[in-house]
Amino acid sequence: MAEDMKPHVAFLPSSGMGHIFPLFQLAKQLALHHGFRISFIVITTEASASQNHFQSSAALLPGLSIIDLPPADVSCIITDDMRLVTRLSVIVRESLKPVKSILLDLKPTSLIIDIFTTDAIDVCIELLIPVYSFFTASTVCLTFSLYLPTLDCEVEGEFVDLPAPVEIPGCQPLRTEDLIDQVKDRKNDEYKWFLFHVSRLPYTSGIFLNAWEDLDPERLTALNENPFFKSITTPPVFPVAPLIKDGEILTVKDAEILAWLDAQPCGSVLYVSLGSGGTLSSEQLIELAWGLEMSRQRFILVVCRPTDLSAYATFFNVGTNENDPSAYLPERFLERNRGVGLVAPTWAPQSAVLAHPSTGAFLSHCGWNSTLESLVHGKPMIAWPLYAEQRMNATMLVEEVRVAVKLGREEVIGREEIERVVRAVMEGEQGNAVRLRARELKESAQRASESSVGRVLDTWKSKN
């Protein structure tokens, strides 16, 4: 088919690799397997090193063009006390100023945004371009987000002070301690920004969701059938999961990690990574290291330099935090654990590690992309949520999906608790139960991946 005859879809993710990669995976499938022409519009303001590397490799894919938005000068707008969503939203708003002229030039048949690029909706309405949202977080986060404007009208005071869990129609109650960070202080600009973005979801023509029916059937049924979600004019929800990162280009360091895994017994290694944007305090990292050592289990530990500022301190500089782990891990930790544990500064090829037969479980922050990678590869999890919606994800994975074990809720989780949970998952009956469930979900994910995007496209084309 001639290029100008192919359906042309534009994508517009916000900053941060956790938002860029899911949209890119969908874009890549449309381009490589379904004959679409893709324009992938990238916000370059305050781009991380990892984002720059992604852009250079993505530009080589056939049928897919990378469109860089010019960097915006936010130096007089961004302040040190801005929280994550506020800073992200300000960067997006400033960066999208030329997007109207870009869309006029591209003339796409539709635009796919994410939850933090909703400023583009107004432009698309003006240009008569159908706009869809790719909701990159979990189903539990989506149902809460759609319910939030109602909650905002009905509740006075802070949500965290409510005497009972939040009752989302058709869904499991949501404990106040599991609420996302962005709604825990309604006086802060971050709450106002988050409410602004989620309030605009009903203005889209549809919502793509990185989930599948067997993973969260109750909430998907509620989104499609519950009278509340119908009353707020929820757009059609298209489950397209599992879309995970694939085709990683392995570096020499990556190959060394996989070679180390090759030498370990099947299912014996605990993979420990708290996400590209997550960091621990100095005290907490020391406890984690001692807990791993005391457990006497094989492990791969991916570490970033600790910080006491915030749990998401590396969000905007992923890929730049090269460091020497011996400077902040316990003294002689590397020497004592040589052969048993492998420490990877900053980065590991996560999908390849999780796919490896020697990997037995994943100690994870429960970010949604990492969660899906773990489920697709059939690995149970130890849940260690840090920020954003990760606490609600962790509770769902432990109590509903039954594929994870959660650590304690202490401000600093002690080494004895870490040792206990690691042993339980890697050796005990609790570990056997979550391993069995993980294998079941792996099979379910494989069945879903064979049909989800194609089925969605049939529906999507008919609606357009």
Q: Report phi then psi at 209, rounded to 5.
A: -130, 130
Give burial (CB, 10 Å; 0-12/13-18/19+) of 395: buried
CA atoms within 13 A on the CB side of 310: 14
What tokens does 26 get? 């969908």
Among 101, 102, 124, CA closest to 111: 124
Helix (H) / strand (E) containing 95 = helix 84-95
Using only C-alpha atoms, the chain has a radius of gyration, in whole angstroms, of 22
Q: Report phi then psi at 16, rounded to 5.
A: 105, 130
Show the CA angle centred on residue 159, arms to residues 154 and 166, nearest 5°.
75
What tokens does 148 get? 């939030």
Among 374, 418, 419, 410, CA closest to 393: 374
Q: Which residues are catalytic?
A: 19, 114
What tokens does 245 get? 């990162």
Q: Does a cis peptide bond (omega within 30 degrees of 0) precede residue 242?
A: yes
Per-residue exposure over 131-151, b if at least 16 CB sit within 10 Å of its own CB, e if not: bbbbbbbbbbbbbbbbbbbeb
CB 424: neighbour CB atoms within 10 A? 16
Among 406, 384, 259, CA closest to 311: 384
**Whole-angstrom Cα distance, residue 171 to residue 219?**
6
3-state secondary structure of 281: coil
CA distances from 282 to 315, 373, 386, 455 (A): 18, 28, 15, 47
**Whole-angstrom Cα distance, residue 90 to residue 82?**
10
**Whole-angstrom Cα distance, residue 164 to residue 175?**
7
Q: CB within 8 A of 67, min separation 6: which ones?
A: 10, 39, 40, 41, 42, 102, 106
**Whole-angstrom Cα distance, residue 412 to residue 292?**
15
**Whole-angstrom Cα distance, residue 458 to residue 98?**
32
Residue type, 159: F
